[in-house]
Amino acid sequence: MWQRCQRTVDALELPSPFDATVFVGMLAGTRGRPIELVPVSSARDTPCGLLVTTDHADCIVYAADTTALHQQHILLHEAAHLICGHHETAAAASAAAQVLLPHLSASLVQRVLGRTVYTEPQEQEAELVASLILTRTVQAAGSTRPAPPPHPQRARLDRLFGTPEAPAPGRADG
């Protein structure tokens, strides 16, 4: 799986500098179908992201109230399902739809519930593709991982775990 995912990611065109929303737009152009990004407030015990496909467009629903890095990973994970063709293999949802939601059309429910019936290997593949895309962007930038944004509890955690505290902006340590 690793080699197949690496080949898939190596073949992708990535924007430079990397931006997940620009990448998703490029993917939509390549696929010839719009991909709508829908930020939502996350709720307890719900997925951070969701891929919904319709006859005319794809929709990536993602948690708006999380960090930018997490949002980026969610977008890439859901886009990876499209890249890997997982959205085309969710036929099991249509059978479940007939039993669980008989008042809705099976095709509608398949598109909406299809995300929840991905197999464990498909989830692993999407997760790996998303991570390999991010790894490739860091390597392409020729840099190390960016420093995390300042966090209000950072100084306390640094003291607690004995990590060196970074100098505050505008403060010279000598």
**What's the pLDDT score for residue 1?**
86
What mean pLDDT comes out for the span 3-19? 94
Q: CA-CA distance, 14 to 172, in Å (whole number)?
A: 38
Walk me through the domains of the chain, giving residue ranges and CATH numbers. 2-143 (1.10.10)
Integer Cα distance of 113 and 65 in angstroms: 23
Chain centroid offset of residue 7 CA: 19
The model's pLDDT over 105-160, given as tens digits with 9 standing for 90+, comes to 656 655 555 444 566 888 899 999 999 999 999 888 775 455 555 556 666 666 66
pLDDT digits (tens, 9 = 90+) for 30-84: 999 999 999 998 877 778 888 888 778 888 989 999 999 999 999 999 999 999 9
pLDDT digits (tens, 9 = 90+) for 70-104: 999 999 999 999 999 886 655 444 444 444 445 65
For residue 2, name the pLDDT band (cuts at 50, 70, 90): confident
pTM above 0.75, yes or no: no
